Amino acid sequence: MAASKIPQALTFKQFLLRQQVLSLYRDVHRALRRVPDDKDRAELKVWAREEFKRNKSQHEEMAIRMLLTQGKRTLREIESTVTLAR
**pLDDT tens-digit map of 45-72:** 999 999 999 999 999 999 999 999 999 9
- 7 pLDDT exceeds 60? yes
pLDDT score for 2:
55
Q: How big is the CA angle at 54 (ends 53 and 58), to the nearest 5 degrees?
A: 95
Establish how many alpha carbons lie within 13 A of residue 6's alpha carbon, considering only the half-sphere containing its beta carbon: 2
Establish how many alpha carbons lie within 13 A of residue 37's alpha carbon, considering only the half-sphere containing its beta carbon: 7
**Boundaries of every domain in the chain:** 12-85
Task: Give pTM, 2 decimals.
Answer: 0.86
